[in-house]
Structure 1
Amino acid sequence: MPQYEGIWPVAPTPFHDDGRIDEEGMRRVLDCMVDQGVDGICILANFSEQFLITDAERETLTRLSLEHVAGRVPVIVTISHFATPIVVDRARRAKDQGADIVMMMPPYHGALMRGTAEQTFEQFRAVGEVGIPIMVQDAPLSGVDLTVPLLVRMAREIEMVKLFKIECAQAAAKLRTLIAEGGAAIEGPWDGEEAITLLADLDAGATGAMTSAMIPDQIKPVLTHWKAGDRAAATAAYARVLPAVNHENRQCGFRSAKAVMKEGGVIGSEFCRHPIAPLHPATRAMLMDLVRPLDPVALRWGK
């Protein structure tokens, strides 16, 4: 396994206009991402619309993605679920199919059913026994407060807990404290949330980023320059992409990558399943106005 660094975007899940999974489109999405020079790919995450996908479709997409990527880059499979036996089974299946890492949020279901700190630790420990590296996703969607002491305990006591995708409020401050208190046990401190806080998170010690698949080839130079110690170049590269990243993060969400890939001929439809509404035409138009000057691979890959 290479060092846990670089840019590992989330693959969107393409659908046909009638709502069926577009399997050939999924293969094209993965090829387009590899062609952008990504360091890894994550599937079945929230930005893959995992909450709109059936269990049978999960199985199809996992197998299709791992077989099609075929080791060209490492693949992370998201396995989050409230029930620990289901999470463990998903981890086992992902490992058996060739996944490199699994990503999971703490156990939650809706606004009121949330695992305690101990229950969260127990669920991650159970998955750790499967024997595949784990990324902890610390995102506000779960409503679970993953404190730094809990994360450090997980890193030290669960061998397979390797990576931490921090995308809560004040992510940089949490990353800095996590690295300071966890030391060498924090093998992969990562930025998330579409890179909206990437520069601050890199300054806090983040080594990797999980963005969307909209413009990872344009965001990667920020990490490359930062790793080389060129803060000025990293800052300039970040300033260049920030308007598009901000529009994605605050206005579009996971619909942005599909819109850009549809515009670039990667996929045939940017359909999202109900109750997700399509992008407002004006919001979509502004997205394209912000992305086109960057000339990302996804906007011309299929043309």
Structure 2
Amino acid sequence: MTFEKISETSKGVYIIAATPFTDDGELDLASTDTLTDFYLEKGVTGFTILGMMGEAPKLTEAETLSVMDRFLRRVDGRVPVVVGVSHASNRHVDRLSKTAMDQGAAGVMVAPVTNLKTDEQVYNYYAGVAKLLGPGVPICLQDFPQVTGVHMSVSVINRLIDEFPQIVMFKHEDFPGMRKLSELRAQGEAAGRRRISVLVGNGGLFLPQEMLRGADGAMTGFAYPEMLVQVCALFDQGRAEEAEDLYNIYLPLLRHEFQYGLGLALRKETLKRRGAIRSSYVRRPGPVLDGTDLAELGRLIQRLESALRERGSAVAA
């Protein structure tokens, strides 16, 4: 069976999938299945698994392979799946990438290692990875300096795009970074450069503005993925005002989920309440919600559901 690969024309919503655990911190593969079904039912264009918000750094190598296999088997080629392969060791990146592609992944996402300080160092790192993986493995560059501490300039991104055709996607997550997105698009157009897919993260907090600046969609894990799907579709249809009106209904909850240090616990608790996973456990070290946090989240969900009813939208579990 031939599976679709990511390309320069990829667009829509590639959901950053959570990694479900049991209440005692073990992998919950049954919940991986229900979570996969939940995302597909909400209309996502694709998946990104084993990302930072998928708690990939907290998994053993055996667990990493188990999670990847379970997601890929459950999706079964219905939509593309990007696998996060970021690691301090290029040997690990190479081995996991090849295993992922052999099992039907659509491409891999690579964040820079944390000790890169100059454009030349960033270029050399990604050039080395691209050459190691070869032209048959589509690559998504992940730009997330808030976590990696590595700042990727527009000039080095463009250099990589020019020299490595397998770099087909860019996950834009710099903060603040909207000017960077505009510069990337403007410089590419002015130079007649190959246009690659740009999907945005940061919890979707700036999604409307980023779509207007040239993004092709979102790669984030907000617990109401149907909103992301609908907003991106409306922008694609040229209905920007309708898209932003819909987005604004969800904004209080989306902003709340975006809290650094606490957001993943809030996201998993919301997914649990929506029936997608059985436990909201975040593997340690990680945040734990207290009673006030839980009540606060519940109130925001109730207000969202009320606003959707007033608008006439269906309120889904």
TM above 0.5, yes or no, is yes
> In the alignment, what sits opposite 1:235?
244
Q: Is 1:133 matched up with 2:135? A: no
When residues 88 and 63 of structure 1 are mapped into structure 2, their CA distance, relative to the original with a 3 A threshold, is: same
Distance 2:256 2:21 in 1: 23
Q: State the shift of 1:117 in Å.
A: 2.1
> In the alignment, what sits opposite 1:247?
256
Q: State the shift of 1:127 in Å.
A: 4.6
| Equivalent residues of 1:104, 1:134 under 8 A apart | yes
Q: Is 1:276 matched up with 2:286? A: yes
Q: State the shift of 1:300 in Å.
A: 5.6
> In the alignment, what sits opposite 1:33?
39
Q: Is 1:174 matched up with 2:180? A: yes
Q: What letter corresponds to residue 182 of structure 2 in structure 1? A: R
Q: What letter corresponds to residue 123 of structure 1 in structure 2? A: G
* Matching of residues 112-151 of structure 1 within 5 Å: 113-114=115-116, 116-129=121-134, 131-140=136-145, 141-151=147-157
Q: State the shift of 1:224 in Å.
A: 1.5
Q: Is 1:54 matched up with 2:54? A: no
| Equivalent residues of 2:50, 2:56 under 8 A apart | yes
Q: Decide which of 108, 111, 131 is 1:105's aligned counterpart.
A: 111
Structure 1 residue runs of 5 or longer lacking an equivalent are none
Q: Decide which of 281, 287, 299 is 1:289's aligned counterpart.
A: 299
Aligned length: 296
Structure 2 residue runs of 5 or longer lacking an equivalent are 309-314
> In the alignment, what sits opposite 1:82?
88
Q: What letter corresponds to residue 174 of structure 1 in structure 2? A: K
Q: What letter corresponds to residue 246 of structure 1 in structure 2? A: R
Q: State the shift of 1:240 in Å.
A: 1.1
Q: Is 1:9 matched up with 2:11? A: no
Q: What letter corresponds to residue 144 of structure 2 in structure 1? A: A
Q: What letter corresponds to residue 35 of structure 2 in structure 1? A: V
Q: Deviations over 1:135-162 (max 9, x none)?
A: 1110021111111111111111111101
Distance 1:300 1:226 in 2: 22
Distance 1:290 1:123 in 2: 46
Runs ≥4 in structure 1, deviation > 6 angstroms?
A: none
Most deviating of 92-101 and 253-262: 253-262
Q: State the shift of 1:270 in Å.
A: 0.8
Most deviating of 267-276 and 25-34: 267-276
Q: Decide which of 193, 196, 200 is 1:187's aligned counterpart.
A: 196
Q: Deviations over 1:15-54 (max 9, x none)?
A: 1111110010111110110000111111111111111111
Provide the TM-score with structure 1 as the length reference: 0.91
Distance 2:220 2:123 in 1: 30
Q: What letter corresponds to residue 274 of structure 1 in structure 2? A: R
Q: State the shift of 1:293 in Å.
A: 4.3
Q: Deviations over 1:245-296 (max 9, x none)?
A: 1101126322223101211222221111211121233223222322344459
Q: What letter corresponds to residue 16 of structure 2 in structure 1? A: V
Question: Cα RMSD (Å) of the superposition?
Answer: 2.0
Provide the TM-score with structure 2 as the length reference: 0.87
Distance 1:53 1:148 in 2: 32
Q: Deviations over 1:101-153 (max 9, x none)?
A: 21110122xxxx33722332333323551612111110021111111111111
Provide the identity percentage: 29
Q: What letter corresponds to residue 264 of structure 1 in structure 2? A: R
> In the alignment, what sits opposite 2:226?
217
